[in-house]
Chain A
């Protein structure tokens, strides 16, 4: 390839400097987000009280929420439930457990939905709806804020 290469010898023009500034601001925002994500999780993961598990690996929970795994170890079908995309607890769960931003997860599901591969977990409105869902389905798994009332739903630890 013999494409001509052009290197500017002039000082960085103002628009470029501004672009650099915006890029740095974006990186600072990212660093702040990452730092928050690594602090104590701001959510609890719930399963149905009849589910025998008490702790789960992070990889297994990720596979359930991405529907790469559809069975619990006892053969019961998994029923993951998400919260709304703009919920703070969704962001916390996504960053900490799925280790991808909510936007990246949304994009993952857009790919699956419109290529006919699969459907995303239902997006429930709030903690109460998640607790109700978990109590209704034996194979359900969801997450709620730390202040949510769990009722009979069982909180499990993530390792």
Chain B
């Protein structure tokens, strides 16, 4: 056994060249942001007044055990309005073994490869905008759509003159931190998730095209107060003998088509996504038939100088492709519910200025013009219906990140 371990030790020493004496790579980041909206609270409770509840801290440790095997883990804590609240957790941890370039396996808690940027949703230094296009990468979904606990197969398959194909296949379960759930939700969990991402790099410098799909299910309990139960029973939405909790399941299928061109100082990206979601519950009147949402964006960024990179994107979200203009009420709502109106869509035009002050510190300024309220939380806006919130509004963000 010891003899077998010797080559691995030797390789580990080799891998240590250029890193720490033990061959452990340590990287980290600290971010602090400020968010201010002209109207409508967005991401944070008091964003209309300006909020500093926009912080992220992460540190990771990775070690190349042999030429083919690597282990790593990242601790992460954040605060974003009602989410996070500085609870430290394992963002990811893994054991990675690469048999060949065309086949590797990873086990542990791994980031979900969905679209171009899902894995980087909380990595400020790795992108130009402060907020990725929220239609495809909603930051409020971070806790359950960013990582899974399970396994993954990956590899890059050469296609000769046709370029190469990178694949990722994964399956596992979703951990959901119930501390982030609202007071009416408990025991939220994701019993399964599986999916795949294929990215084709054709023989055109800097171009890649891809498709991702994943299937998942979230289960949980909705807990109502006695007053809410009485109100819902009077409205006929709960049976008279209801004693709670209301159990629900949300199966969902997510798909996205991606294209990215990154050459020299220019980055262009666009993605089109559809999410098929329905809700089944122990009380049939609360079940919602399948709703298909539509999401897409166009993004561009350009390194004008090594320290200055402006970027812009236009992002669109339609909550229901059968109700893009909001003329009808939300799918499955009880009779008499008003139309969704401006809550059915959100157009987001964003402009970012990224300044790399030095090789480990950056500052970003970002402005958004928003049209529609589909991406907002009713709970952050006094439980008002989204259709009653101002339709045209703005978001301003400042964020600084130090990383190493």
Contacts and interface: CB of A to CB of B under 8 A. Distances in A.
A34 interface: yes
Interface in A102-138: 102-104, 106-107, 110-111, 113-117, 119, 121-124, 133, 136-137
B101 A68 contact: yes
A51 interface: no
Nearest to B64: A119
Main secondary structure of the interface of B (DSSP, over half): strand
Contacts of B111: 115-117
Contact of B304 (A30, A106, A123): A30
Q: Which of A113, A115, A119, A137 has the most CB of B within 10 A?
A: A115
A36 interface: no
Given A1-B347, A70-B101, A100-B263, A114 B309 contact: no
Given A113-B60, A119-B25, A103 B17 contact: no
B202 interface: no
Contacts of A29: 304-305
A114 B371 CA distance: 33
Contacts of B70: 119
Given A122-B17, A122-B19, A113 B27 contact: yes
Interface stretch (A10-18, A42-50, A77-85): A77-85
Given A77-B67, A107-B127, A133 B18 contact: yes
A116 B17 contact: no
A85 B307 CA distance: 12
Contacts of B122: 114
Interface residues of B, number: 51
A69 B58 CA distance: 28
Interface residues of A, number: 41
Contacts of B306: 101-103
Contacts of B264: 34, 37, 95, 99-101, 104
A114 B27 CA distance: 8
A3 interface: yes
A102 to B, nearest CB: 7
B247 interface: no
Contact of B60 (A95, A114, A137): A114
B401 to A, nearest CB: 10
Contacts of A85: 359
A86 interface: yes
Contact of B123 (A1, A3, A95, A110): A110
A149 interface: no
A71 interface: yes
B98 interface: yes
B262 A100 contact: yes
Contacts of B263: 99-100
Nearest to A121: B18
A113 B100 CA distance: 21
Interface of B: 14, 17-19, 25, 27, 29, 58, 60, 62, 64, 67, 70, 72, 74, 92-94, 98, 100-101, 110-111, 119-120, 122-123, 125-127, 156, 164, 166, 205-206, 262-265, 267, 303-306, 309, 345, 347, 356, 359, 371, 403
9 contacts: A68-B156, A69-B156, A77-B67, A103-B306, A103-B309, A104-B265, A111-B120, A113-B25, A114-B74
Interface of A: 1, 3, 26, 29-30, 33-34, 37, 68-71, 77, 79, 81, 85-86, 95, 99-104, 106-107, 110-111, 113-117, 119, 121-124, 133, 136-137
